[in-house]
Structure 1
């Protein structure tokens, strides 16, 4: 299967998970999954009123949620059960304002028998400036 087709199928699958969710994944209902597969996931978000703090900047808690979920989706593109978070860290480098378009890219950096490290970067689409960088360590069960 070609990489492009695989990425589109992956994006469709993750989008279905988000849109059908009645749980926490529903918080990502305005995130557009652009593609992924083979340990990656790429998404886009237009910063909306639902995502900002009182100063109209993208809320740090929402940034952590994006890192958590998009890295998990990247991991789900490999044949494994993604398990639970062991550790998550995020460095906040620049603010994103209400109305900004951001790109979220996650990549499986390393996978062992029971642990996986997934990196994530959030960038402003207009100037490619880095908003935040995160890493998640997840307990996994590879099939």
Structure 2
């Protein structure tokens, strides 16, 4: 399976992707997903999981990931040091206190937090880090 789009009809959706090891694109946005385990999906290149209630997103096993949209969740940190091929990152409207982009030299598009004074300071930091990669 190369592409999977999922819409939950239930109030507490569970998404089991453990048997979809060939999955390359996952779109599970606009659901009420609390936990998303993509550790068995090593071939994943695009992950769209915006508008959920994720508080954690672990992507260590997804080294081929190039596009990530995790906007509108409840994420406090986003560790991307194992995702060197990442080119597009949309992570706005979370509670990000930590975002590590040092190992993402191909990153060309970032939509970052915009909801607080801290976000404004982070934008300057992100822009400075992005300049280092260009």
Give the TM interval when normalised to the shorter protein. under 0.3
Higher relative contact order by CA 8 Å / sep ≥ 6: 1 or 2? 1
Give me the TM-score of the superposition, normalised by structure 1: 0.25
* Higher strand proportion (structure 1 or 2): 1
